[in-house]
Amino acid sequence: MVDKIMSDQLILDSVQSIYARITAISKSITDLGGSLNALKGVIQEKIGVLVDQIAQMNEQVKKEGEMHVEILNNIAKNVNKEIIKLQEELGIKSVEDINKNLASIYGIVKETLKSENVDLLLAETLAAIKILQGETKPEEKQCNKNDTVPTTGGATQAPQ
CA 67, CA 1: separation in Å to the nearest integer? 98
The answer as to whether 20 is a domain residue is: no
The answer as to whether 94 is a domain residue is: yes
The answer as to whether 90 is a domain residue is: yes
38-71 as b/e: b if 16+ CB within 10 A: eeeeeeeeebeeebeeeeeebeebeeebeeebee
The confidence score (pLDDT) of residue 159 equals 47
Mean pLDDT throughout 140-148? 48
The answer as to whether 32 is a domain residue is: no
How many CB atoms are closer than 10 A to CB 120?
19
CA 55, CA 71: separation in Å to the nearest integer? 24
The answer as to whether 14 is a domain residue is: no
| Between residues 30 and 146, the one the model is more confident about | 30
Mean pLDDT throughout 37-62? 93
The answer as to whether 34 is a domain residue is: no
CA 154, CA 152: separation in Å to the nearest integer? 6
CA 118, CA 63: separation in Å to the nearest integer? 11
Determine what percent of the chain is predicted with pLDDT higher than 90: 32
Phi-psi region of 159 (alpha: psi -120 to 50; beta: other; left: phi over 0): beta
What is the pLDDT of the chain when averaged over all its residues?
80
- What domain count does the chain have? 1
The answer as to whether 5 is a domain residue is: no
The confidence score (pLDDT) of residue 158 equals 47
pLDDT in tens, 92-135: 666 677 788 888 888 887 776 777 877 887 888 888 898 888 86
pLDDT in tens, 6-41: 888 889 999 999 999 999 999 999 999 999 999 999
The confidence score (pLDDT) of residue 8 equals 86
- Residue ranges making up the domain that contains 106: 39-157
| pTM, entire model | 0.37
The answer as to whether 97 is a domain residue is: yes
CA 154, CA 113: separation in Å to the nearest integer? 9
